[in-house]
Amino acid sequence: MCCQRPLYIAFAGLLCLQYSETLAQWKRIGCDNASYLVMLKAPGLKQKDLGLKQSKGEAAAIETELLRDYRFGQQQLIEIWGQACALAITKAFPLSSLAKKQPTVLVICGPDQNGSIGLVCARHLRMYEYEPTIYHPQRSSQSLHQDFTVQCEKMDIPSLSYLPTEVQLINDAYNLVIDAMLGPDADCANIKEPYPGILVTLKQVKIPIASVDVPSGWDVEEPSQDGINPEVLISLTAPKKCAISFSGKHFLAGRFLPYDIQKKYELNLPDYPGTDCLIEL
Amino acid sequence: MNHSSAEARAETIEPLRYLSKGEAAAIETELLRDYRFGQQQLIEIWGQACALAITKAFPLSSLAKKQPTVLVICGPDQNGSIGLVCARHLRMYEYEPTIYHPQRSSQSLHQDFTVQCEKMDIPSLSYLPTEVQLINDAYNLVIDAMLGPDADCANIKEPYPGILVTLKQVKIPIASVDVPSGWDVEEPSQDGINPEVLISLTAPKKCAISFSGKHFLAGRFLPYDIQKKYELNLPDYPGTDCLIEL
């Protein structure tokens, strides 16, 4: 057994064990997924409490319940998520750590909710004195999405009319790229232009990529073999199954989920420190 | 603030503007109409910032009572909605808020915020005890989210005058959201409630000029163009904080 790699044990059936950092012991959790993986401590490796990852269906079900039963509004949720994303960015890439003279950030926004979250994230980054630029190839006709777009324009956040295919231009102009293109509801087998082209470009950039919720192009439930390789993943509400083996910096952002939902879906969310709305997993 | 304006300000620090009732209303209208912010979005921003101010002014560890109880009194309008969001976030921060919500608005947005609180298992009082000692004993502090800057303080309808009478007698601290209920927006009050903490939203109002308690400015979202247009001269928020103590 190679000591460089973490040891995985698959449990069949209903009983799973999960190592709890805080309790410093194994605890039993209920588990529906027979192939749920548990990582044992291996010498020299960082212990990670995997928690229960969401499937595409669970993520969608939770959101439906939040809107329908808990009467949250989409605008409200997107604002919560976008601000939490921005805070995650400031943690992963503090202003003082940025290599370039100007604290530039490229935010690539899709047409749907993931894109709206990117727009709110960009707006908050501007308040935190970063210099975001938005690339927004497909504007949604949805009025909520348009509102978020106007809010960014009115914050003097510049917008690119096209994304350079010359990757060096991107590497030179920005410190990092925020991928807010496709969310967990996207059909990754059927991605329409211009996103495949953008993803090709992103696979070649040398600057770090931070993905919002799900790396664009990845299947929600499977880690990607040949997709983009973000340095940072900001999971919203709860991490998705594709993130189980994510090896980069992984944040859980957004601290608003009612306890009843947490219990119902057995999310076992970690304790957020103090009044923070995000935690590094 | 962008860097060049911060340099200019370092040479001559412009004083923070205190808003009149008209200016506060005008800013909000512009935010909704021109900047396309949504009311739900703004109320969420303000409510969360209020909750953070409460955690700063009254940290969990500092609370005297065995349970971290907080009484949140919510009015029927926007100020009340902000109180509801504040209560919800306090619950996430492990405080134990109880809401007293004498007048429910028929506005669906206000109702949504109410349901969100109910679904967080935040208890709701059906009446406010007039026996002040009961309030003193049960809660660590009271959050006053009854009347905002748009209220007509010369013409406050029941049950709020009665509640204000009770609040003037409580011994536990009061924290007011935006404007102490019952105060004129532009004049400090002679005989109104006397909050220990004031959490101004967006920019402070004229009545707060001589406020002697703990004064927070909460909510960090105001576009620079509006700040310049109204010459708000907002202070620099530290780091990624969305509030600052004035």
Name the residue facing A255 among B34, B92, B119 (closest C-beta).
B92
A22-36, A154-168, B27-41, B71-85: least confidently modelled range: A22-36
Task: Judge: A154–B38 Cβ closer than 8 Å, yes or no.
Answer: no
Name the residue facing B121 among A150, A156, A259 (closest C-beta).
A259
Task: Evaluate if residue A178 carries a pLDDT over 50.
Answer: yes
Name the residue facing A70 among B2, B89, B116 (closest C-beta).
B116
**What is the percent of chain A with per-residue pLDDT over 70, rounded to a whole number?**
81
Q: Which two tokens stand for residue A241?
A: 């199954």
> What's the pLDDT score for residue A59?
87
Dihedral (C-alpha) B17, A83, A140, A189: value to the nearest 10 degrees?
A: 170
Name the residue facing A256 among B38, B92, B220 (closest C-beta).
B92
* CB-defined contacts A:B, below 8 A: 75
> What's the pLDDT score for residue B104?
84
**What is the percent of chain A with per-residue pLDDT over 90, rounded to a whole number?**
67
What pLDDT, in 10s, does the model give residues A249-259?
999 999 999 99
ipTM over cut 0.85: yes
- Using an 8 Å CB-CB cutoff, list chain B residues near A273: none
What pLDDT, in 10s, does the model give residues B189-242?
878 899 999 999 989 999 999 899 999 999 999 999 999 999 999 999 999 999
pLDDT band at A205 (very low <50, low <70, confident <90, very high): very high
Q: For residue A119, give Cα distances in angstroms to A82, A86, A98, A175, A281.
A: 7, 10, 21, 18, 24
> What's the pLDDT score for residue B12?
64
CB B52 within 8 A of CB B218: yes
- What is the rounded average pLDDT of the residues A229-237? 95
Which residues on adjacent β-strands are paired with residue A29?
Answer: A16
Angstroms from B36 CA to nearest CA on chain A: 5
> What's the pLDDT score for residue B13?
73
- Using an 8 Å CB-CB cutoff, list chain A residues near B88: 256
- Using an 8 Å CB-CB cutoff, list chain B residues near A90: 239-240
Counting runs of H as helices and runs of E as strands, what totals does chain B give?
Answer: 8, 8
* Mutation target vs B (from A150, A275, A276, A278; most B CBs, 10 A cutoff): A275
Name the residue facing B120 among A146, A156, A258 (closest C-beta).
A258
> What's the pLDDT score for residue B5?
54
A49-63, A87-101, B130-144: least confidently modelled range: A49-63
Task: Judge: A147–B224 Cβ closer than 8 Å, yes or no.
Answer: no
> What's the pLDDT score for residue B105?
85
Give the three-class secondary structure for A127. Answer: helix
Q: Which two tokens stand for residue A141?
A: 């006709």
Task: Judge: B41–A155 Cβ closer than 8 Å, yes or no.
Answer: no
Task: Judge: A260–B119 Cβ closer than 8 Å, yes or no.
Answer: yes
